[in-house]
Amino acid sequence: MRAKDAVGRYGEQVAARHLVERGFELLDRNWRGTGGELDVVALDGATLVAVEVKTRRGELYGHPAEAVTPAKLVRLRRLTGQWLDEHAAAAPRRFREVRIDVVAVVLPRAGAARVEHLEGVL
């Protein structure tokens, strides 16, 4: 496994723990659709949340959330629709709303990871 992949995988674990600690119910992780992946799909009360996780070892090249471009948001929206279509029959829940969040994780050289949760970026 490449170091970059290991950092991303660890960041997703940190983000998932963060979400659970805040009362989210994890429904799916690393779900693959046509043309991409949803890192986490979760339930926040009656709201379905697709979560994009961005992890960096530092902020030398900018905050991790800056990597979520407008094109990436369009892709996340499309993938969220695919997830809903695929799971509609198996999980007949009605979601009050659907949103896309970003969880930015910074892994400093020493100390605990820093997590920033941006709700409703789209």
Pairing state between β 36-44 and 47-56: antiparallel
Q: What is the chain's pLDDT, residue by residue, as a tens digit (122 residues)?
A: 677 778 889 999 999 999 999 999 999 999 999 999 999 999 999 999 999 999 998 877 889 999 999 999 999 999 999 999 998 766 656 788 999 999 999 998 888 889 999 999 97
Distance, in Å, from the CA atom of 2 to the CA atom of 17, rounded to the nearest integer, reads 23
Which domains does the chain show, CATH number per domain? 3-118 (3.40.1350.10)
What gap in Å lies between CA 24 and CA 26, rounded to an integer?
Answer: 6
Written as six digits, the tokens of 79 are 């993938």
Q: How far apart (Å, rounded) are the C-alpha atoms in residues 46 and 1? A: 37
Query: What token pair was written down for 25?
Result: 């119910």
pTM attached to this predicted model: 0.90
Instruction: Please name which of 3, 9, 109 lies closest in space to residue 59, comparing C-alpha atoms.
Output: 109
* Phi, psi dihedrals of residue 44, rounded to the nearest 5°: -115, 90
The pLDDT value given to residue 1: 61
